[in-house]
Amino acid sequence: MDPVFHTPDLGEGLTEVEIVGWHVNVGDHVVTGQPLVSVETDKAVVEVPSPQSGHIAALHGEAGDMVAVGAPLVEFSTAGSADRGAIVGDVPAGETPDITPQLEPPVRTRATPAVRRLARELGIDLSSVIPTGPGESITSEDVERAQQSAADNGAAIRGVRRAMFRNMERAGREVVHATMMDEADVDAWEPGTDITARLLRAVSAGCRASPALNAWFDTGSMTRKLHRRIDVGIAMETDDGLFAPVMRDVGGRNPSDLRQGLERMKQDIEARRIPHDELVGQTITLSNFGMFGGRFANLVIVPPQVAILGAGRIEKRNVVAGDAPAIHRVLPLSLSFDHRVVTGVEAARFLGAVVLDLESGH
């Protein structure tokens, strides 16, 4: 077994990860599958298990360090293997030489999970924070001072915001954005209607009416892939940045199943434990930004997707009901699409089907 364990590839497209914290120390004995370290990918915190049993000889990196995929992460001691090396000098009879490598322990930061979470939220590298707590531990006040210093001097973005930067930069470079807007009269909805579940059902209706929006487009090869299954990315805003976990097979699930999936997804995002494979593979995205405010928006499409539907804030509006004026609840909708591969007619057909589904009272 290779004594050097290299940083594994934790998901498609990842080139580096950020060390959140080590679960082991130099000299510890570990077994196969035991968690070695927690690392932060673009979207989640992941525990990396040990690939083998043995003693830890060296740890590469500290909390807050960025480590490239494929770079050395952990070294295991080779002591006790068949090749034990030569012993120079005389060994007194009856004594066994101590061949345990004498290694300096790595410098580690001491902080509670709450303080580490605060540091991640503020984008602060704990290894750069001056500790003032008991036993040279880092307190929340230490992190906040470091954040203020970073604000005064500037600091690199990391984690989720770095991923957001890369995605938006690529979208701005590759996609030709166009946006179409409409409104749905939802006054017939029963009190307590699950808005997100209804929106997911409406997205499914739109994709059935206009399959061109449930697709991927590869700019390099100039190829388009239409998807039969509707896997909707749900845009979720957090203090760390924007997540878009995937709700799989929306067209084949009932409202109760969708709600259960949404609740589990929300819990995983809050705990930063959502698997990486649940953050990739979206065929179209839904942004229910109206829960925070706003009516319409020019939304950004993340390649290879070609469309994103946004729902604004529901509000009472003057409408014409039959031949008479009335005040109804109205849901604003914004559909952004990649005009390189989606026509205006295809977009209008999709949005029309979404409105029709939302305006049905059941």
Give residue 105's pLDDT. 39
Q: Sign of the CA dihedral 25, 45, 67, 117?
A: negative
User: How confident is the prediction along the chain (362 residues), in pLDDT tens digits per residue?
Assistant: 678 999 988 765 677 888 888 999 999 999 998 989 988 776 667 789 999 999 999 999 888 788 888 999 999 987 644 333 333 334 444 444 443 333 333 445 677 877 877 877 777 777 778 888 887 788 988 888 888 877 666 666 766 777 778 888 989 999 999 999 999 999 999 988 999 999 999 999 999 999 999 999 999 999 999 999 999 999 887 666 677 889 999 999 998 899 998 888 888 877 767 777 788 899 999 999 998 899 999 999 999 999 999 999 999 999 998 889 999 999 999 999 999 999 999 999 999 999 999 998 66
Residue environment code for 44-72, b if the CB has 16+ CB neighbours within 10 A, otherwise e: bbbebebbeebbbbbbbbbbbebbebeee
What is the C-alpha to C-alpha distance for residues 273 and 38, in angstroms, rounded to an integer?
A: 11
Give residue 109's pLDDT. 60
State the DSSP string of 149-172: HHHHH-----HHHHHHHHHHHHHH
Q: What domains does the chain contain, in order, with CATH numbers? A: 1-81+102-107 (2.40.50.100), 109-156 (4.10.320.10), 162-359 (3.30.559.10)
Give residue 87's pLDDT. 35
Q: What pTM, to 2 d.p., does this model score?
A: 0.67
What is the C-alpha to C-alpha distance for residues 128 and 134, in angstroms, rounded to an integer?
A: 18
Question: Any alpha helices (H) in 138-229, and if so which ranges?
Answer: 140-153, 159-174, 195-209
Give residue 103's pLDDT. 36
Give residue 60's pLDDT. 92
What is the C-alpha to C-alpha distance for residues 270 and 266, in angstroms, rounded to an integer?
A: 6
